[in-house]
Copies of this chain bind each other. A is one copy, B any other.
């Protein structure tokens, strides 16, 4: 995934979450130096969501460094953590960290299909 496409997907997710009443921000690159930070964080009434974003149209493996980051956000931050996967021409699905860990980071189309929709996530 190119940096530019990834950036656009992150920004799209931020706006989608904002429209659903969340306060959402992208985490800056500089904030990632040595400190764990997901791509996008969203907060509503004390509920914290943390996302690593993917914009990709095939099976892929989530780097273990990203899984470790999400685990920290879940454990230390108390966040609900997801891989936010935008499949080209099919849209967003949200795969829970628990599911991703069960798959050892290997995600296929069937995992996308089984993920939560934006409506389910923000209900």
Interface set of A (CB-CB < 8 Å, partner B): 11, 14-15, 18, 21-31, 35-37, 41, 43-48, 72-73, 76-79
In angstroms, Cα B41 to Cα A27, docked, is 10
CB within 8 Å for A14 and B36 given contacts A43-B48, A43-B79, A76-B21: no
Q: Are A35 and B18 neighbours in the complex by a CB distance under 8 Å?
A: yes
Query: Which of B36, B37, B45 contacts A76 (CB under 8 A)?
Result: B45
Say how far A3's CB is from chain B's closest CB, in angstroms. 13
CB within 8 Å for A30 and B26 given contacts A35-B14, A46-B77: yes
Cβ of A25: which chain B residues have Cβ within 8 Å of it? 25, 27-28, 31, 35, 37, 41
